[in-house]
Structure 1
Amino acid sequence: MDAPAPPRIFAAARRIANRRRADKLARTDGAARYLLDDMAEDVAERLAFLRHEPGNALLIGDRFGVLSNALAARGCTVHAVDAATGLDEEQPFPASGFDLAVSLSALDTLNDPVGALIHMRGALAPGGLAIASLCGAGSLPALRTAMLTADGDRPAPRLHPMIDVRAGAALLQRAGWANPVVDNRSLAVRFSSLTSLVSDLRAQGLSNCLARPGPPLTRAQVAIASEAFGQGTTETFEILTLTGWRL
């Protein structure tokens, strides 16, 4: 019997449009990039700790080329995948045999993350390492509170459901990654206003791409949300990292 299709939580067209916009914004001066920079630097540190020196690597979502450049400088051949299309949850990668496969902020808005992780593992050569970093369930508590305040007694779906450590471990187990490890860390960022936060989310491809999003906020609701968020507010991003091998 075929397995049931995963629920359609996210709209692929909206996800791709969000990331296309982020790709364009990435080419402008001062574009927000701290999340991807943090993820790329963390991956580089993990490779050094594990003493893993890949000869060829598959990189998904390295929009600014930070990790690509670092690996290329060490003699690694890099195959970079468009950040907008990123991981395909339905189709295997057209290439395989990589020593390293990395996904940066590309897993969290897929309807079938297990399928994507299976394809990511399938792209590896035996002994290859896979690392996936994404924003996890502890992210954006101040924004969530502001949206709930603006919606009042009728809360609407405005922010994505996110993967936590426990769910991440279950995903890796189902995807067949060997020696799976899931860990998380927090990144605190201070914002002058709600508008500033929203701008940064758009620039980093993190806008709403739910298949059934809530109705647009009215002007009155925007004012309420802005007041609830406040000025000079520190927001938290939880960075979840999934690591495993193909034996």
Structure 2
Amino acid sequence: MTDPKRLTDVTALQLHRARATALFLQEAAADELQDRLSMVNRSFTSPAVVTPFPTIWKMRLPAALTCSDEEELALTPGAHDLVVHAMGLHWANDPVGQLIQCRRALKPDGMLIAATLGGQTLQELRSCLAQAEIALSGGLSPRVLPMGEIRDLGALLQRAGLALPVADSLTLTVEYRDAFHLMRDLRAMGETNALTARPKTAANRRLFEETSRLYAEHFATSTGRIPATFEMVFLTGWAPDDSQQKPLRPGSAQQRLADALDVSETPLPD
């Protein structure tokens, strides 16, 4: 039985992923993650990847343990010097819990890097769907997954107990012939609506026809195609270790900032 208090209907999500055939977004995130790892001056000998699509990672990190992004991750505490959480965090009912489990799986000074979809993702579709549904029915239904803003997602790293947290984003814009082709592609990605509170009956086709019309009216490019935004947010943190750099205590500076900048110091008025 579905728990109405949970954001994601896990059973529906698994069914959507099982029929996924177009994984270009997962591939793009994996390529970006691999590039970022190549710039880290460290050799990882015991990596693990949390991913709903493990075949994508077989060529990139062939020695890595892979596990699905279930609520209890199949990771051994303290066993890995690298954990990659790949494009599943946006569907997690407990994203902090996912990151805490990843942190526990790390050796001291081990690295976590996660990729997830951010709040700008599908902003055009979200806007047009809402406008069309209000016009046709006078209300709104949960039809597109709410995704975290980069600032909020970055804060999850600290809540999970990770050191040296960094969050940044990469925006991809993909063009489609119309909104119907976009929604068909989302289905092929396994990224269609799996919200617990989603409408359980099929929507009237008029809703999608009006959405497509509004999409073309407000967002069409000069070529007549429509853009779809995908914001990928990358979160990086480290398992705490005594060898890591730490901020100095307040008042412990050995030189005034004004002297370092070679400027005159102007006292603030009381």
- Cα RMSD of the aligned pairs, angstroms, is 1.9
**Counterpart in the other structure of 1:229:** 215
Give 1:42-57 correspondences, 5 Å limit. Answer: 42-57=32-47
Question: Equivalent residue of 1:161, what SS?
Answer: coil
Distance in 2 (CA, whole Å) between partners of 1:125 and 1:224 is 53
8 Å Cα contact 2:52/2:69 also seen in 1: no
Moved over 4 A (4+): none
**SS in structure 1 opposite 2:70?**
coil
Mapping of 1:194-233 within 5 angstroms? 194-214=179-199, 216-230=202-216, 232-233=225-226
CA offsets 1:18-59 (integer angstroms, 9 cap, x no match): 22222xx2xxxxxx3221122111111111111232112111
CA contact (8 A) 2:52 2:88 kept: no
Post-superposition offset of 1:94: 4.2
Q: 1:166 matched to which residue of 2?
A: 151
Look up the equivalent residue of 2:175 and give its one-letter code: R
Q: How does 1:16-55 map to 2 (within 5 A)?
A: 16-22=14-20, 25=21, 32-55=22-45
Question: Any conservation in 2 of the 1:151–1:221 contact (CA below 8 Å)?
Answer: yes
Q: CA separation of 1:150/1:33 partners in 2, compared to 1, >3 Å: closer, same or farther?
A: same
Say if 1:36 and 1:62, in contact at 8 Å, map to a contact too.
Answer: no
Q: Which amino acid aligns with 1:229?
A: Y
Contact 2:83 2:113 in 1 (8 A): yes
> Identity of aligned pairs, percent?
31
SS at match of 2:116: strand
Matched, 1:130 2:112: yes
Please report how far the alpha carbon of residue 62 of structure 1 lies from its aligned counterpart in structure 2 after TM superposition.
6.4
> Aligned pairs, how many?
225
Match of 1:78 in 2: 64
- Is the 8 Å Cα contact of residues 93 and 119 (structure 1) preserved in structure 2? no
CA distance in 2, matches of 1:167, 1:11: 23
Task: Note if 1:9 corresponds to 2:27.
Answer: no
* Cα distance, 1:66–1:52 mapped onto 2, change above 3 Å: farther
Deviation of the 1:122 alpha carbon: 1.2
The answer to whether the Cα contact below 8 Å between 2:163 and 2:238 also exists between their aligned partners in 1 is yes
TM-score normalised over the length of structure 2: 0.77
Distance 1:126-1:54 versus aligned 2 partners, 3 A rule: same
CA distance in structure 1 between the partners assigned to 2:32 and 2:7 by the alignment? 29
Query: Which residue of structure 2 lines up, in the alignment, with residue 120 of structure 1?
Result: 102
2:161 matched residue in structure 1 = 176
Structure-2 change in CA distance of 1:188 and 1:92 (3 Å): closer
**Residues 188-197 or 54-63, more deviating:** 54-63
Aligned to 1:245: 238
Partners in 2 of 1:18 and 1:199 — Cα distance? 12
Inter-partner Cα distance in structure 1 for 2:122 and 2:26: 16
Quick one: distance in 2 between partners of 1:63 and 1:10?
18
Larger radius of gyration: 2
C-alpha spacing 1:174/1:133, structure 2 compared with 1 (3 Å): same
CA distance in 1, matches of 2:188, 2:74: 27
Question: What is the aligned partner in structure 2 of residue 140 from structure 1?
Answer: 122
Structure 1 contact 92–122 (Cα < 8 Å) conserved: no
CA-CA distance at 1:121 after TM superposition:
1.1
Counterpart position of 2:50 = 60
- Which shows bigger deviation, 152-161 or 92-101? 92-101
Name the CA distance, whole Å, in 1 between partners of 2:113 and 2:31.
13
TM-score normalized by the length of structure 1: 0.84
Provide the rounded CA distance (Å) in 2 between the counterparts of 1:139 and 1:63: 20
- 2: CA distance, partners of 1:168 / 1:46: 19
CA distance, structure 2, for counterparts of residue 67 and residue 92 of structure 1:
17
Distance 1:191 1:59, change over 3 A: same
